[in-house]
Chain A
Amino acid sequence: MKLLKPTWVNHNGKPIFSVDIHPDGTKFATGGQGQDSGKVVIWNMSPVLQEDDEKDENIPKMLCQMDNHLACVNCVRWSNSGMYLASGGDDKLIMVWKRATYIGPSTVFGSSGKLANVEQWRCVSILRNHSGDVMDVAWSPHDAWLASCSVDNTVVIWNAVKFPEILATLRGHSGLVKGLTWDPVGKYIASQADDRSLKVWRTLDWQLETSITKPFDECGGTTHVLRLSWSPDGHYLVSAHAMNNSGPTAQIIEREGWKTNMDFVGHRKAVTVVKFNPKIFKKKQKNGSSAKPSCPYCCCAVGSKDRSLSVWLTCLKRPLVVIHELFDKSIMDISWTLNGLGILVCSMDGSVAFLDFSQDELGDPLSEEEKSRIHQSTYGKSLAIMTEAQLSTAVIENPEMLKYQRRQQQQQLDQKSAATREMGSATSVAGVVNGESLEDIRKNLLKKQVETRTADGRRRITPLCIAQLDTGLKEQNLVKELRPRDLLESSSDSDEKVPLAKASSLSKRKLELEVETVEKKKKGRPRKDSRLMPVSLSVQSPAALTAEKEAMCLSAPALALKLPIPSPQRAFTLQVSSDPSMYIEVENEVTVVGGVKLSRLKCNREGKEWETVLTSRILTAAGSCDVVCVACEKRMLSVFSTCGRRLLSPILLPSPISTLHCTGSYVMALTAAATLSVWDVHRQVVVVKEESLHSILAGSDMTVSQILLTQHGIPVMNLSDGKAYCFNPSLSTWNLVSDKQDSLAQCADFRSSLPSQDAMLCSGPLAIIQGRTSNSGRQAARLFSVPHVVQQETTLAYLENQVAAALTLQSSHEYRHWLLVYARYLVNEGFEYRLREICKDLLGPVHYSTGSQWESTVVGLRKRELLKELLPVIGQNLRFQRLFTECQEQLDILRDK
């Protein structure tokens, strides 16, 4: 365990009454006393977690400060989705905060300091009902309700979907209510009050389930708060301040019959706060020891007026750790990180402490699924488990989500699935007026602002709107306007600045797997054979040799493959492109100058012609809009510009040319010895250096049926057996990008995830290589009774192959296409983990942090733009509304930066 007291987390010495860590773990909020008002501060978490970040002055510590509360803030709580922050204070108000999507940081108005708010949080609702100080607030497990309790002896349940609607006022306490906790499965809410009672209320009818008084009979005096907590498995409720034999305790109340047989003893003064770790743990399995299935257990932190903190595991009789004298005054609040390994503790003395545990100390946390399973086995239905049927009644947490859902329904009615993409992600757009920065606006504001006179002669100023609010219809229009531009940007990007061959380890792995499976099913060639095949087996692949066997193969090593070489012709013409019309004419040995026969190369481009002469016969020629190149006898290769200027001295090839290709400024030469080279003649660099085709041609009677050079200089070989490999220059590997006999392609069924008809015709190198695989295969596969699970798996595998292949080929257009199809499939089929991983990668780190390896672009596409395109797709499945909200918010944050 590590203990840290970040001194920079303070309210200028004023008490901090509450602390809560944001569900995504990147920030936390504190609430307490401000200068002469209440104060809520949102802090960056990374400086707490990492020392480097703490020292880095570029990393903000304070993200936002809100002093809107008129009096001391007693409680701050993030909603489970992380979208809202609720704060309650002595001003009898509860304020609900939301990230505002504005430009630029603002200062805290009226504060003498120059501290700028890095994030903008705006109060979206003020909830008034309590007639006394609000002591605690709590969001229900699924954010549908917000509960608040007050010194007016009541608990109020607010409709979190429709603030400020009140669903129920729970009356029954006869003293100040100072703590609240929801049952993790959403069946109960418990409150503890100064009236020496703890009451459990049903959420079904908001009536009292039970009132527990016995453990509190001896309680004398008062504590500022009584923050009780429910264990994550739902079995136990632990109270704050209780007494047992005149000793202060935290009473454990069993859900089963509300029995009060156990308590946490040891604190010398009243317990103010109890907080369960959100995770359920199981014993760490040690290597070698017999794996005895141990009972899962919970972990609980207890803070007291005696200024000490104790952490308990429910499987141990004694506390895991007790820290005395952690603060100068009473502990006021505790918050666990979502991973369950850290806690923030705040105190009346105005400081905060952070404790960091290791998994060895606490145990292995159960996954959310295991947790749900426990809930389900114990309580039958859990809110955390949502079946399709239940989803229909799920509460929509985000207005944007609601918009998508509605839109989707509309579209289903209209049978217009294509329209989905058009609408794009409806995030609000922060406007910089006419592209000017705020600074520019300010300079000229006085001159620019419109002043008129009203009828009675008074001056009237039209204020300059510097940011629109994300409400109303305006936003939708804005979004519509923006969409095409976004698309344009991304497509133009893809054409221009593409980083050279960005390797994807993922694709490599996938492809290896694919190769294996493909080989397995290959007829007539047992797997063993292919595995054990040494290089010597690949000697001489006879079919690779054609009629020109004899021609100049002397230089090639005896064991090498041989590819056909073109025979010298008297003359030939080659069409390079039709638009612009460009063709090359070659005439060999046309003129004789001083006994030397010269060959002529002519090039005609849109009527403009140039010609040049070479001293040896031209075997083959190739051209693109940027270069023209010819291979001659004596293994010479010459490269010319489009105007006929020689760009390089002749290149001597290692062996005679077999095939020559040009795309853009890339020249590819495949030699008879089956080595491949690609050069970028403009930048004068080698992309692929004499790479042997052994690995892809070896040991089989295959020939190269088609060769392709992508516009990014990636060579692709289509082989006669239907497989296609591309060479990945950064990894120096041949990657399988297509296989006509791929059983995955035949079983995969993702038609439901295809965007629309026109998008099917996504063109690019991948489409060229794979050809237009007809749907017949897929449909045939559907006729067989393939179990859905198998189909799901094959479809996933196929789509992942496609995404990886597009990535390897650096075909941004196709990458985008397949990524969207893949994401749509994941959304439709409900694969959360993979979807989340994609989103996470596309989003990257929100706050700058040292040591981040994240690249902001992929094959020339901006990852975050891609994520914006994914958002509406994600929004179609209500199951992913958390993911949707998270991504959208973080994108907003990033845009604000």
Chain B
Amino acid sequence: MAKVSVLNVAVLENPSPFHSPFRFEISFECSEALADDLEWKIIYVGSAESEEFDQILDSVLVGPVPAGRHMFVFQADAPNPSLIPETDAVGVTVVLITCTYHGQEFIRVGYYVNNEYLNPELRENPPMKPDFSQVGPVSTSCFPQGRSLYLGGVQPFKLRVKVTS
């Protein structure tokens, strides 16, 4: 049975400017005490084209985890704009929250991130070089995946929730 399952992920301060940190409040449930820590990561997908541009914004260990329901806030700095391909700077992309135990990923929760210029003019005619100070508010919406650690393996990842912004 599922030893660990995510009960809820709440995006705090949403929407918020591009340069402000991501903050997720994660609650999960564990049916028996875990011997080791869980490792949680926030990954910013820089470009849909290639995983090369994925930025791991932060990774933390969470533990000790006794049986029960737990909660923590996972905060990570905003992505480094210089590592984002210019063509993908503005528009919809994805932030992933993953959780691994003993190196095996078993939870992947995705959020759509919509980066838009505030200024309608910039929106109409985006500058060649993206100006991230003008980007925002960034809104995120959820598409959770494979929320439970089954002793069987990882669920395939697929997108399913339509974009809302």
Contact at A123–B2, with CB atoms within 8 Å?
yes
Q: How far is the CA of A82 from the CA of B34 in the complex (A)?
A: 31
Contacts A445-B25, A469-B31; A464 near B1 (Cβ below 8 A): no
Contact at A449–B72, with CB atoms within 8 Å?
yes
Q: How far is the CA of A459 from the CA of B152 in the complex (A)?
A: 29
- Complex: chain A residue closest to B33, CB-CB: A472
CB 8 Å contact bits of B65-80 with A (1 = contact, 0 = none): 1111111111100000
Partner of A126, one of B1, B8, B74: B1
CB 8 Å contact bits of B24-41 with A (1 = contact, 0 = none): 010111111000010000
Q: With a CB–CB cut-off of 8 A, which chain B residues contact A467? A: 68-69
Contacts A458-B59, A460-B61, A469-B31; A109 near B6 (Cβ below 8 A): yes
Give the A-B contact count at a CB cut-off of 8 A: 98
Does B161 belong to the interface (CB within 8 Å)? Answer: yes
Q: With a CB–CB cut-off of 8 A, which chain A residues contact B150? A: 126
- Complex: chain A residue closest to B23, CB-CB: A446
Q: How far is the CA of A465 from the CA of B68 in the complex (A)?
A: 7
Does A466 belong to the interface (CB within 8 Å)? Answer: yes
Of residues 427 through 468 on chain A, the ones whose CB sits less than 8 Å from some CB of chain B are 441-442, 445-446, 449, 454, 458-468
Q: How far is the CA of A106 from the CA of B5 in the complex (A)?
A: 13
Of residues 92 through 133 on chain B, the ones whose CB sits less than 8 Å from some CB of chain A are none
Q: How far is the CA of A461 from the CA of B23 in the complex (A)?
A: 14
- Complex: chain B residue closest to A441, CB-CB: B71
Q: With a CB–CB cut-off of 8 A, which chain B residues contact A245? A: none
- Expressed in whole angstroms, the minimum distance between the Cβ of A573 and any Cβ of chain B is 66
CB 8 Å contact bits of B121-151 with A (1 = contact, 0 = none): 0000000000000000000001110011010
- Expressed in whole angstroms, the minimum distance between the Cβ of A439 and any Cβ of chain B is 12
Contact at A109–B8, with CB atoms within 8 Å?
yes
- Expressed in whole angstroms, the minimum distance between the Cβ of A115 and any Cβ of chain B is 13
Does A36 belong to the interface (CB within 8 Å)? Answer: yes
Q: How far is the CA of A446 from the CA of B74 in the complex (A)?
A: 8
- Expressed in whole angstroms, the minimum distance between the Cβ of A452 and any Cβ of chain B is 9
Q: How far is the CA of A466 from the CA of B65 in the complex (A)?
A: 12
Contact at A469–B67, with CB atoms within 8 Å?
yes
Contact at B8–A466, with CB atoms within 8 Å?
no
- Expressed in whole angstroms, the minimum distance between the Cβ of B136 and any Cβ of chain A is 21
- Expressed in whole angstroms, the minimum distance between the Cβ of A27 and any Cβ of chain B is 22
- Complex: chain A residue closest to B69, CB-CB: A467
Does A577 belong to the interface (CB within 8 Å)? Answer: no
Of residues 51 through 87 on chain B, the ones whose CB sits less than 8 Å from some CB of chain A are 58-75
Partner of A123, one of B1, B7, B58, B75: B1
Q: With a CB–CB cut-off of 8 A, which chain B residues contact A70? A: 155
Q: With a CB–CB cut-off of 8 A, which chain B residues contact A398? A: none
- Expressed in whole angstroms, the minimum distance between the Cβ of B56 and any Cβ of chain A is 12
Q: Is the interface of B mostly helix, strand, loop or mixed?
A: strand
Contacts A107-B8, A460-B63, A463-B62; A124 near B1 (Cβ below 8 A): yes
Q: With a CB–CB cut-off of 8 A, which chain A residues contact B147? A: 109-110
Contact at B142–A464, with CB atoms within 8 Å?
no
- Complex: chain B residue closest to A468, CB-CB: B68
Chain A interface residue number, banded: 35 or more
Contact at A68–B61, with CB atoms within 8 Å?
no
Does B154 belong to the interface (CB within 8 Å)? Answer: no
Q: With a CB–CB cut-off of 8 A, which chain B residues contact A462? A: 62-64, 72
Contact at A463–B65, with CB atoms within 8 Å?
yes
Contacts A112-B161, A446-B73, A469-B31; A461 near B67 (Cβ below 8 A): no
Residue of A107, A128, A467 most packed against chain B (CB within 10 A): A467
Contact at A68–B148, with CB atoms within 8 Å?
yes
Contact at B7–A106, with CB atoms within 8 Å?
yes
Does B11 belong to the interface (CB within 8 Å)? Answer: no
Q: With a CB–CB cut-off of 8 A, which chain A residues contact B142? A: 110
Q: With a CB–CB cut-off of 8 A, which chain A residues contact B148? A: 68
Q: How far is the CA of A464 from the CA of B64 in the complex (A)?
A: 10
Contacts A460-B63, A469-B68; A449 near B73 (Cβ below 8 A): yes
Q: With a CB–CB cut-off of 8 A, which chain A residues contact B5? A: 68
Does A125 belong to the interface (CB within 8 Å)? Answer: yes
Q: With a CB–CB cut-off of 8 A, which chain A residues contact B9? A: 109
Does A102 belong to the interface (CB within 8 Å)? Answer: yes
Does A477 belong to the interface (CB within 8 Å)? Answer: no
Q: How far is the CA of A459 from the CA of B73 in the complex (A)?
A: 13
Q: With a CB–CB cut-off of 8 A, which chain B residues contact A460? A: 37, 60-63
Contact at A466–B37, with CB atoms within 8 Å?
no
Q: With a CB–CB cut-off of 8 A, which chain A residues contact B6? A: 109
- Expressed in whole angstroms, the minimum distance between the Cβ of A474 and any Cβ of chain B is 9
Q: How far is the CA of A469 from the CA of B66 in the complex (A)?
A: 9
Does A850 belong to the interface (CB within 8 Å)? Answer: no
- Expressed in whole angstroms, the minimum distance between the Cβ of B8 and any Cβ of chain A is 5
Contact at A464–B71, with CB atoms within 8 Å?
yes
- Complex: chain A residue closest to B143, CB-CB: A110
Q: How far is the CA of A70 from the CA of B158 in the complex (A)?
A: 14
Q: With a CB–CB cut-off of 8 A, which chain A residues contact B75? A: 446
Contact at A463–B70, with CB atoms within 8 Å?
yes
Of residues 1 through 19 on chain B, the ones whose CB sits less than 8 Å from some CB of chain A are 1-2, 5-9
Contacts A124-B1, A468-B68, A469-B68; A445 near B61 (Cβ below 8 A): no
CB 8 Å contact bits of A118-141 with B (1 = contact, 0 = none): 000011111010000000000000
Q: With a CB–CB cut-off of 8 A, which chain B residues contact A469? A: 30-31, 67-69
Q: With a CB–CB cut-off of 8 A, which chain A residues contact B8? A: 106-107, 109
Residue of B32, B58, B67, B143 most packed against chain A (CB within 10 A): B67
Q: With a CB–CB cut-off of 8 A, which chain B residues contact A122? A: 29, 31
Q: How far is the CA of A469 from the CA of B27 in the complex (A)?
A: 14
Q: With a CB–CB cut-off of 8 A, which chain B residues contact A466? A: 27, 68-71
Q: How far is the CA of A107 from the CA of B23 in the complex (A)?
A: 20
Contact at A109–B59, with CB atoms within 8 Å?
no
Does A471 belong to the interface (CB within 8 Å)? Answer: yes
Q: With a CB–CB cut-off of 8 A, which chain A residues contact B152? A: 128
- Complex: chain B residue closest to A126, CB-CB: B1
- Expressed in whole angstroms, the minimum distance between the Cβ of A148 and any Cβ of chain B is 16
Complex A-B, nearest 4 residue pairs according to Cβ-Cβ distance, in ascending order: A463-B70, A110-B144, A467-B69, A126-B1
Q: A122-B29, A461-B60, A467-B68 are in contact. List 6 more A-B contacts (CB 8 A).
A: A109-B144, A112-B161, A125-B1, A461-B72, A462-B62, A471-B67
A interface residues with partner B (beta carbon < 8 Å): 35-36, 68, 70, 95, 102, 106-107, 109-110, 112, 122-126, 128, 441-442, 445-446, 449, 454, 458-469, 471-472
B interface residues with partner A (beta carbon < 8 Å): 1-2, 5-9, 23, 25, 27-32, 37, 58-75, 142-144, 147-148, 150, 152, 155, 160-161
